[in-house]
Structure 1
């Protein structure tokens, strides 16, 4: 039976870029008169598209001149790109996990621009595992939490949604993959403040991913459970994954 396609989010799942992004976003948005702090991104807006965040802030605090916003976004992305090159690291367990799962077909699915995904993979040497197999919301013109980015990636890679496992730390990505009809693993790095949506499997570290994927494959191959792993109704309790 063919192996499933593993679709990884990038920021906060593979690489620890979110604190850097939160810093630069706070500087850029506050500079144009939209009050925003680092913790706002990490709490309320983690994983969301930049312009979605801007739209919400403008609804709360008032409109900002579009040219000022465009200039601020350009500066923010330039500064972030420099910091990614100098400071970016993978999250704990990522490299060992990718090495263990190397025989699986895989790709990166991110709300960020292609240039940002490439910069992150290159800076952390994760391009070794993914090459050019990454899919950007800006290229597909569709962003999480809508399901079409995941479906676009699956289609290009030659897989149906039911034969994909999506791994994401942000709720917007988890919900997008669930809507797409995929098996979803939520890397819940903040279990004290974040609840895994129904239908997704919760882990707290990438070091747990390999065992979860193996159990999903075992379930997929067992006719006593179901012919397709996405139909098995897997839960954290059933697989002893509550941590």
Structure 2
């Protein structure tokens, strides 16, 4: 049995879907009358669950009626899935990196299970993870709550200290650290983002196998 498992975030870590998501969120929130541009997602809300973003916008700009609020997320998902079905690009270097990793692996995402499944199918990464797909919507806890990653580690049969988190977003890095797990931060924006103390920073997925080797050798 392997000594460690790997818990990957999905958007921005495995698949390069965040620019697409930012565009769809902009369309959705603008249709609801909220000011929102793609940069808002990328700089303020990256990795944050849709209900949390919507609640923040309502607090800042006014409350929606219940029917409009209830319809918002289904409308956003419909737009997003239609675009995803046209193809979802992988994060550069992830396919080559994963092939080198002899560990059990899971996807752990703030997104719904259907979105994770579509991302894996559209990107060609699904075979690496099988059924080990964990959604915050099913578990009932969204990052930065550490319980999502803790749930995934238990489901994989590993204690927290032997479940390595790989995540690009601050909410995911924080969740992994609070869960007591070794964390690798794939920092796509090193000029503007700082990797928290206690996490290991990489800037390209080609660095991932060596980073994991260093973490596992040091424990």
Q: TM-score range by the shorter chain?
A: over 0.9
CA contact 1:3–1:105 (8 Å) conserved in 2:
no
Question: Deviations along 1:56-112, whole A, 9 cap, x unmatched?
Answer: 1111111011211222321210111111121311010010011111x2011000000
Structure 2 gap ranges (5+): none
* Partner in structure 2 of residue 55 of structure 1: 55
- Structure with more relative contact order (C-alpha pairs < 8 Å, separation 6 or more): 2
| RMSD, matched Cα | 1.0
Paired position in structure 2 for 1:82: 82
Aligned counterpart, 2:146: 147
Distance across 1 between alignment mates of 2:88 and 2:155 = 29
Distance across 2 between alignment mates of 1:120 and 1:22: 16
Count, aligned residues: 219
Determine the structure 1 residue equivalent to 2:107.
Answer: 108
CA distance in 1, matches of 2:89, 2:113: 18
- Residue 166 of structure 1 is matched in structure 2 by 165
Query: SS at 1:25's partner residue?
Result: helix
Of the structure 1 ranges 14-23 and 78-87, higher mean CA displacement relative to structure 2 is found in 78-87
Contact 2:2–2:104 (CA under 8 A) maintained in structure 1: no
Residue in structure 1 matched with residue 120 of structure 2 by the alignment: 121
The answer to whether the 8 A contact 1:33-1:64 is kept is no
Larger radius of gyration: 1
Matches within 5 A, 1:167-182: 167-182=166-181
Residue pair 1:4, 1:104 contacting (<8 A) in 2 also? yes
Q: Output one character per residue of 1:21-66: Cα deviation in whole Å (capped at 9) or x when no partner.
A: 1101110011111111110000000000001001111111110112
From the superposition, tell whether residues 211 and 74 of structure 1 become closer, same or farther in structure 2 (CA, over 3 Å): same
Does structure 2 conserve the Cα–Cα contact (< 8 Å) formed by 1:84 and 1:120? yes
